[in-house]
């Protein structure tokens, strides 16, 4: 069974956050960065900077964690991001294509 990922994207200035879940992180990031779905939240708010991700062995656990993140407030999301990525760098730099 393929692994799954929970991820958080931010806008360039980190003012907008988006939390998602996927079984193919590279493909999903390309979709976000190229605005494959032009009417989506991430396209409208230009959220394409990967600031957090966590891999899971199964999709059920990933979805459960995604729901927990989405139910939390912004401060909790910021703490989660800072635990892995204190400088809020784009973690996809160097391993994902640019739009």
CATH number of the CATH domain containing 10: 3.40.1440.10
User: Rounded to a whole number, what is the largest CA-CA distance in the chain?
Assistant: 36
Backbone phi, psi, residue 41, to 5°:
-55, -45
CA 92 to chain CA centroid, Å, is: 10
- The reply to whether 39 falls in a domain is yes
Per-residue pLDDT tens digits for 17-75: 999 999 999 999 999 999 999 999 999 999 999 999 999 999 999 999 999 999 999 99
State which residues form the domain around 56.
Answer: 4-84
Domains: count for the chain: 1
User: Nearest Cα to 69, choosing from 82, 59, 78?
Assistant: 78
pTM to 2 decimal places: 0.92
Query: Cα–Cα distance between 33 and 65 in angstroms, integer?
Result: 23
């Amino acid at each position: 069974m393929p692994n799954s990922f929970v991820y958080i994207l931010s806008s360039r200035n980190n003012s907008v956050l988006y939390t998602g879940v996927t079984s193919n992180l590279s493909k999903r990031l390309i979709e976000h960065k190229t605005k494959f779905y032009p009417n989506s939240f991430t396209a409208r708010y230009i959220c394409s900077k990967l600031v957090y991700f966590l891999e899971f062995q199964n999709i059920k656990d990933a979805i459960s964690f995604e729901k927990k993140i989405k139910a939390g407030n912004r401060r909790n999301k910021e703490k989660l991001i800072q635990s892995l990525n204190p400088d809020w760098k784009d973690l996809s730099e160097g391993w994902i294509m640019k739009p």
